[in-house]
Amino acid sequence: MTKKLGKQTYLMQRPPVVRAWAAVGGKKEGEGPLGASFDLIEPDTTFGQDSWEKAESRMVMQAVSRALGKLSLSPEEIDCVFGGDLLNQCISTTFGLRETGIPLLGIYGACSTIGEGMLLASLLVDAGTVRRAMAVTSSHFCTAERQYRFPLEYGSVRPPTAQWTATASGAVILEEDGDQPPYLRAATIGVIEDLGVTDQNNMGAAMAPAAAATLSRFFRDTGSAPEQFDLIATGDLGAVGSQLLVDLLRRDGLEIQSRHTDCGLLIYDRDHQDVHAGGSGCGCSASVLGAYLLPALRDGRIRNLLFLPTGALLSPTSVQQKESIPGIAHLIWLSHEKEGII
Amino acid sequence: MTKKLGKQTYLMQRPPVVRAWAAVGGKKEGEGPLGASFDLIEPDTTFGQDSWEKAESRMVMQAVSRALGKLSLSPEEIDCVFGGDLLNQCISTTFGLRETGIPLLGIYGACSTIGEGMLLASLLVDAGTVRRAMAVTSSHFCTAERQYRFPLEYGSVRPPTAQWTATASGAVILEEDGDQPPYLRAATIGVIEDLGVTDQNNMGAAMAPAAAATLSRFFRDTGSAPEQFDLIATGDLGAVGSQLLVDLLRRDGLEIQSRHTDCGLLIYDRDHQDVHAGGSGCGCSASVLGAYLLPALRDGRIRNLLFLPTGALLSPTSVQQKESIPGIAHLIWLSHEKEGII
């Protein structure tokens, strides 16, 4: 039985194994520093479909089938899939998974989705309720711009704090305990944090308090410290939100700067790719996880990673109605080792 | 440890107890046959807020605080909440729960949400992972019309197959095993079914195949038969979808007509309230559950209920892009007894 530590943290007793994963990306992601490590880069932003929304669904399907393919599994061998995305009513997930027949548990956590999905999958696997579960998510620059901001054809100018929604999808398969790292060792469920940020061109700032709250909660619940982990990777705080996170934690006496990174800073080369404060979107953290973090955990280049994708729980309607932007961050601890530290 | 039966069904080993619940509704729901049984009826469609979206969030908050109040619990005593709704990016849930500080696992299952939430909550409670979890959802006629169809001011005419989105919210608290019914005995995770229906004014027909698939899967996985349950309640198939469900199951040799009902048919008086094919929306099944089904299960008027909320996984964008409407239905078996039948 998974052990509950403190208010929000769950320590796995038979740590589930992340058995396989896949990362799919678009042209810009292919040109970024991790481009060569994606399982598939599709230079055509439509992915051969007649709309960007259908393109995003196609990406989901490709990520799922590539992850399955690595283990020579058929969809029937997956007990359930946790999936969601940024599009209204999560249609890229729905239509992407429609043909698979995998029992579907739809989730919504904005850009924290891959974290929430892996957290839920690991709790069910650790409990022995299911043997093998999947988590998947996606985002697409063109669908997100059209839905959240302006149609691309307007050519609107972006402020420096704005981030670039990644065209990417990531899928992950978790299984009950085995002997190949990475292991999912613990998870912390996030709580909504809202410090009143209303600028939707500065979502990193809106999400940083949630990341800080989840991270300090994890350290408190487990009695561990930042120094015990080689890397702390947030999802898509970008340059602005990352600095804010470091500052917020410093006030709590937690120093993470030297070991912190952000998937939104890893996915693009900010000096040579025009992405302002960095990447964002559900697919950003999910694809960086598959293209870089999980392979490094498997071969031991990274031994202990705190991975916490961050979500901004706004909608265009809530922004128009002058609501502030609530944030959430779910944390999972991924490790090269099955035991130790806690 | 929860026992997995067949492909999609989970049999609880220490059936979680549905300890408390609350149903909140609007004026029309108050005038319906179950009106007197709601915990709160608010005749003002704005719930005192300055937008309908904020009204819907307010309803979520009210349902949650009334459910908590019945057990004299504070939000800190809830391990986690599963919540979601129909609004883009699930904002009524997010803003409704923002102040509570309860660890949030956002879900998206369209109108199947309360079923998905209770299913996930019960799996975590039965495993001992959490002690007490909550599920909540909502819908609002005015927010749904504006988002899915036309602004109300257009006064557009609705065809007879159309349903009426309920202005309602339902919240439920599940706890580890105790000695007061109702017990959540088993759950079946739904699979997407899509038979190609494209008429968004006939969502009952789009969702009926999913309800049929989940129900026949439950009977197959558990080796049980319709006669063993007093009532089978779907979420919001309405008049058209309900008949289709009965017909589809008949082809599989399953006869449910005499024991089938639909929350969309229970919530309004179709003869005297202008709701065409019946009620719909996440809040429809969630509030009928709280206002009628759970009280009847507690006092034994209903002994065994198969409750399966149904979701239509469309969006206005997917409809505009000529996609068909995928459906999903999650099933939970609620019982006055802790054991028996299976």
Q: Which of B88, B124, B192 sits opposite A317 (nearest CB)?
A: B88
Contacts of B313 in chain A (CB under 8 A): 89-91, 94, 106
Sign of CA dihedral A89, B9, B168, B311: positive
Nearest CA-CA distance, residue A112 and chain B, Å: 10
Helix axis angle for A141-148 and A52-70, nearest 10°, is 140
- Residue A46 backbone phi and psi in degrees, to 5: -90, -5
Q: Which residues of chain B have pLDDT under 70?
A: none
Number of C-beta neighbours around residue B222 at 10 A:
19
Tokens of B73: 């619990």
pLDDT of residue A274: 87
Nearest CA-CA distance, residue B208 and chain A, Å: 16
Q: Which of A97, A119, A318 sits opposite B95 (nearest CB)?
A: A318
- Residue B11 backbone phi and psi in degrees, to 5: -100, 120
Cα B331 to Cα B308: distance, rounded to the nearest angstrom = 4
pLDDT of residue B161: 86
pLDDT tens across A137-170, in order? 999 999 998 898 877 777 777 888 889 999 999 9
Interface probe with B: pick from A318, A319, A332, most Cβ of B within 10 Å: A318
Interface probe with B: pick from A147, A192, A193, most Cβ of B within 10 Å: A192
pLDDT of residue A151: 73
Q: How far is CA A82 from each of CA A19, A186, A214, B278, B325, rounded to the nearest angstrom?
A: 16, 18, 21, 31, 20
CB contact under 8 A, B106 and A107: yes
What type of residue sits at position B338? K
Cα A327 to Cα A195: distance, rounded to the nearest angstrom = 9
Strand partners, B128: none
CB contact under 8 A, B108 and A110: no
Q: How far is CA B185 from each of CA B220, B222, B329, rounded to the nearest angstrom?
A: 16, 12, 17
pLDDT of residue B151: 73
Q: Spell out the long-range contacts of B35-41 with Cβ–Cβ below 8 A and sequence spacing 24 or more.
A: B37/B291, B37/B292, B37/B295, B38/B168, B38/B287, B38/B290, B38/B291, B39/B63, B39/B66, B39/B290, B39/B291, B40/B66
Q: Which residues of chain A have pLDDT under 50?
A: none
Contacts of B317 in chain A (CB under 8 A): 53, 87-88, 91
Q: Residues of B5-38 as b/e, b for ≥16 C-beta within 10 angstroms?
A: beebbbbbebbbbbbbbbbbbbebbbebebbebb
Tokens of A318: 């809530």
Peptide bond connecting B182 to the previous residue in cis, omega within 30 degrees of 0: yes
Q: How far is CA B260 from each of CA A156, B249, B252, rounded to the nearest angstrom?
A: 54, 12, 16
The residue with tokens 């916490």 is A308
The residue with tokens 């001011």 is B153
CB contact under 8 A, B89 and A54: no
Sign of CA dihedral B199, A48, A309, B121: positive
Largest CA distance in chain A: 54
As a three-state string, the secondary structure of chain A is CCEEECCCEEECCCCCEEEEEEEEEEHHHHHCCCHHHCCEEECCCCCCCCCHHHHHHHHHHHHHHHHHHHCCCCHHHCCEEEEEECCHHHHHHHHHHCCCCCCEEEECCHHHHHHHHHHHHHHHHHCCCCCEEEEEEEECHHHHHHHHCCCHHHCCCCCCCCCEECCEEEEEEEECCCCCCCEEEEEECCCCECCCCCCCCCHHHHHHHHHHHHHHHHHHHHCCCHHHCCEEEECCCHHHHHHHHHHHHHHCCCCCHHHEEEHHHHCCCCCCCCCCCCEECHHHHHHHHHHHHHHHHHHCCCCEEEEECEEECCCHHHHHCCCCCCEEECEEEEECCCCCCC
CB contact under 8 A, B106 and A109: yes
Secondary structure of residue B333 in the 3-state scheme = strand
Strand partners, B86: none
Q: B126 and B13 in contact (C-beta within 8 Å)? A: yes
Cα A128 to Cα B10: distance, rounded to the nearest angstrom = 11
CB contact under 8 A, A108 and B107: yes
Nearest CA-CA distance, residue A94 and chain B, Å: 7
pLDDT of residue B342: 87
Tokens of B174: 């599940």
Sign of CA dihedral B19, A121, A342, A238: negative
pTM of the model: 0.98
Cα A130 to Cα A219: distance, rounded to the nearest angstrom = 28
Interface probe with B: pick from A100, A108, A130, A188, most Cβ of B within 10 Å: A108
pLDDT of residue B140: 97
pLDDT of residue B154: 77
Cα A296 to Cα A290: distance, rounded to the nearest angstrom = 10
Interface probe with A: pick from B88, B92, B188, B197, most Cβ of A within 10 Å: B88
Tokens of B76: 């800190």
Q: How far is CA B207 from each of CA B236, B247, B271, rounded to the nearest angstrom?
A: 9, 14, 24
Q: Which of A126, A189, A318 sits opposite B91 (nearest CB)?
A: A318
